[in-house]
Each structure stands twice: as structure tokens, then as C-alpha cells.
Chains A and B, each alone.
Chain A
Amino acid sequence: MHGERRAQRSLQRLLGATLCRVDVVPDLATATIDEDTIVVVDSAIAMTALDACKRDARAWIAVPGEGLQPADPPAVSALLQAGWDHVVAHPMPLLAEELLATAQKLIRRDCFGLEKYMVWGAEVRAFQLEDAVERDAAVTAIASDVTRVGLPDRIGSLVSVIADELLANALYAAPVDEHGARHRAHDPRDRSRPLAGRDAVTLRWSTDGRYLAIEVRDRWGSIEPAAIEGRLATTKTSTAEGGMGLPLAYACSNQLVVNVAPGALTEVIALLDIRYKPTELARSASFHAFWGDPP
């Protein structure tokens, strides 16, 4: 759904690569949407119908508007605040890479794993935390690899913050007790806690010369994407009292992806584009939330 013919053609070819049927329409009123439809909407149209994402469909995806130029931060914030689970912020070629991966994850109902964002041949490294105090060691390991790859200090600094925040989220915000209370949220963060069974936390990372992907998994599946989206949308006005970890990780990323198997697994993937200067990309990061069965 896009009002501009040239953008319509680009999106049609891109989504056509999935070999699924693609219907192009100029507006919401002419669209036929059912629970299996993946609806891709120009963000300018989405902004005029923020509640559209509440209608039944497999997914609602907002993409950049006129000329497929980078999305404006206020539009991204408004869409996240309204509950859109997929907001693509970046221009081509990131748009193409991001939209195709998103569509295929939805079509195949297979959402987990950072490999879906990497080209074949990229090495994937992993760090399984045995104890909560190994968070620093895990961050040091990924930072060391970033240096070894030859990426600039700017990327190294972002990677350290993102990995630290995603790990802290998995270690302290994810665990819930039998009443659903997040009972580890106020644990001292320098205290030893062996991590076994559902407490297991894994950090994985990879780079393919386009992206650097950082993935953190916990076995709780307790994250609520809708609650996160609201916080991401309001980062800049935050008074910094509570819940700043994921918004900070989002602010440091170019794309934040949350994959959830409720009650079983949460996987958060942060993607940094290492090809372009930040000023060549959108000012805000893209966001995606997926639900699926654990692998």
C-alpha cells in the first residue's frame, strides 16, 4: 500500500521475490485484508490510520514514504506508540534487505536466529554465560572481536553498550516467578548467580561486512513487545527512572528485532549497519517484533 507508483514497483518486486502473491493498492480503503495478509504500508498512509494495525492480519509493516527516503523520527515514534510491530526506517538498500527478511520470517513462521540477517559464510560466535557475573567477560569477548575485525572505535563503543544492555535485560528483567513478577529486577548486578536450566543466557554475534548482529537469548519468553514499543517511542523525554536498558540498546542500533516464543524463549537481535555513515541512514532505528515456536 503506497501512494507513489515508483515506490509501488520497487516494493512489488522486492516482495515478489518471496514468490507469494503481491497486490498493490494506493490506499487502505481499496485493500482486501484477512488474517493471513502481510500488509506493507507507506508510513505516510500509516500515519493517517495509526489504529489500522489493530485489524486482523498476519502482520502490519510500515515502510518509508515518499521516494522511500529515510523515515522521520516523529513518524517512527508515533507508529511504535500506536503499536505497530514492524516499522522499517531505512532507505534502500537496507530497506530491501530488511523487508525481505521480515516478510520471509512471517511467511515461513520461522523467526529465530541472527543467521537470517547475515550472508552465507559469515562466522557466528557464541558465549554461553555460566554465571550472571560473566556479563563483563561476554561484553569483553564481543568487543575484542570487533577490534580484531578492524571496525572503528565508534562501532566498538556501540557494541559494548548494546551487548551489556541486552544481557542485563535477559539476566534481570526476563526471569519471572509463578505469579509473573520479575523477581530478579532489583538483584545486585555484581552478585554471583549460577545460570542453569531456564536461567541460561546466550550471547551470539556475527558480521558479514554489511551488518554486525548481536543476539541475546533467554529461556523465559516473558518479554512484551507492546510494552517495549511504548518505551522506545519515548526515550528522548525519559526522566531516566526505570526501564532504560532496551531503549538505550535501540538508540544505539540501526535495527532492533524481538523474537518471542511466549513462556519459552526470548531472542533480541540488534543490527548495526557497518557500511554507511550514520548520516546516510535513518535517524531512528527500525523495530520488529515476531512471535513463533522455539527452534
Chain B
Amino acid sequence: MSRLQTEVAGNRLRFAGRIDETAQLAPLVGQLPPGPITLVPEDVTFVNSVGLREWIRFVRALRESGHAVTLERVADVLMTQMNLIGELHGLPITSFHAQYECPTCRHEEQPLVDATLPPVACVECGSPMQLADFPERYLTIFRT
């Protein structure tokens, strides 16, 4: 299981791999340019409770140092866990991956969606897919 990889490109910070006890997030705060920051955790594959705590502290540190933080293309595994944490509610998120299932052929995938949870066509049979979980598992974080 791969350790967390990060890549800074301008005001965008991409994440790939595991957010766990090996993830070094705090030093990233000092490496970012001033102004708004977009976090792109699309390729995060695993988050445990220690990693989630580090992620919360990282987001908190960014905000406390004056950055306006936006999240984009959030991995499903991180999105559902962030929804459990009250401190993160209201965090701007423009898009995220969510678990969808086709009621016809039971194909599952994680398309990129936004808070409207739009309909998605099944890539295998073309039927309209449905969100495979309760909407609040993804949308609680949008409440302030």
C-alpha cells in the first residue's frame, strides 16, 4: 500500500496514496504560496483515524495561516470520512467521487459528481445508475 505522495503546482496541491500515520502533512503548509489554495485529493486510496486527524489539523493550519481552502475531486474514501467530522462542515468542495450502483446490472463505480448528485449512466448497460449510499454520507459536510 503506497505512502502519501504530494505534488504542488502553483496554488494546487495534489495527493495520492495513503493518509495514515506515515503521512507528513504539516510541513506542506510552509511550502505553499500565499492566497487561495485548492486541495486535490483525488488519488487518495486509504484514510485511517490517525490520518484523518492529521488531515483535519492540516486544513485547520492552512485556514489559520490565512489561506482560503477549496477541495476539488475528493476521493470517495476521504469524502465519506470528512462527513463524520463536524469541524469540516462548510468546507468548500467543488467536486468529489461518490459510490454509484446500477440497479439493472449491479455494476458499481465512483464517478466524479458535485453536491447535486446528478444522474449517471451505467458504462456497462446504459441504465441510469443510483447513488449506492445514503446522500447524507456525502452531503452533511455542505451544511454550515
User: Taking beta carbons and an 8 Å cutoff, which residues of A are in contact with B?
Assistant: 136, 139-140, 152-154, 157, 160-161, 164-165, 168, 188-190, 235-241, 244-245, 247-248, 251, 277-279, 283
Contact = CB atoms under 8 A, between A and B. Distances in A.
A21 B46 CA distance: 48
A26 B21 CA distance: 51
B8 interface: no
Given A165-B48, A165-B49, A239-B87, A157 B77 contact: yes
Contacts of B72: none
B1 A157 contact: no
Contacts of B99: 154
A166 B51 CA distance: 15
State which size class the interface on B falls in: 20 to 34
B108 A153 contact: yes
A140 B1 contact: yes
A189 B50 contact: yes
A165 B132 CA distance: 24
B134 A240 contact: no
B7 interface: no
B119 interface: no
B134 A251 contact: no
A238 B134 contact: no
A160 B132 contact: no
B22 interface: yes
B104 to A, nearest CB: 14
Given A189-B21, A235-B84, A244 B46 contact: no
Given A238-B84, A240-B87, A161 B22 contact: no
Nearest to A73: B136
B49 A244 contact: yes
B132 A278 contact: yes
Given A136-B1, A190-B21, A240 B53 contact: yes
**List of 6 A-B pairs having minimum Cβ-Cβ separation, nearest first:** A244-B49, A189-B21, A245-B49, A278-B133, A152-B108, A240-B56
A245 B76 CA distance: 19
Interface centre among A154, A168, A189 (most CB of B within 10 A): A154
B132 A240 contact: no
B134 A190 contact: no
A247 B53 CA distance: 13
B48 A240 contact: no
A136 B53 CA distance: 19
Interface string B68-80: 0000000011000
A154 B1 contact: no
Given A154-B99, A239-B87, A248 B46 contact: no
B52 interface: yes
B86 interface: yes
Contacts of B1: 136, 139-140
A238 B86 contact: yes
B6 interface: no
Contacts of A140: 1
A214 B53 CA distance: 24
Contacts of B136: 283
Contacts of B125: none
B22 A278 contact: no
B47 interface: yes
B61 interface: no
B46 A236 contact: no
A96 B131 CA distance: 27
Nearest to A164: B48
B42 interface: no
Nearest to A277: B132
B49 to A, nearest CB: 4
A279 B49 CA distance: 24
